[in-house]
Amino acid sequence: MENNNIKGITMKNIKQIRILLGKKIREQRKQKKMSIEQLAEESGLHTTHVGDIERGDANVTITSLAKIALALEVEISEFFTFSGYADKKILMRKLNNLIHNKEKVSALNELGWIINELLFRKK
> Same domain for 37 and 68?
yes
pLDDT tens, 37-64? 999 999 999 999 999 999 999 989 999 9
Same domain, 92 and 74: no
Is the pTM of the predicted complex or chain greater than 0.75? Answer: no
Could you list the residue range(s) of the whole structural domain that residue 94 is in?
88-120
Shared domain check, 74 and 56: yes
Terminal Cα-to-Cα distance of the chain (whole angstroms): 43
- Verify that 104 and 73 share a domain, yes or no: no
- 5-29, pLDDT tens digit by residue? 445 556 667 777 788 889 899 999 9
**Does 24 map to a domain?**
yes
**Residue 120 parent element (H or E):** helix 104-120
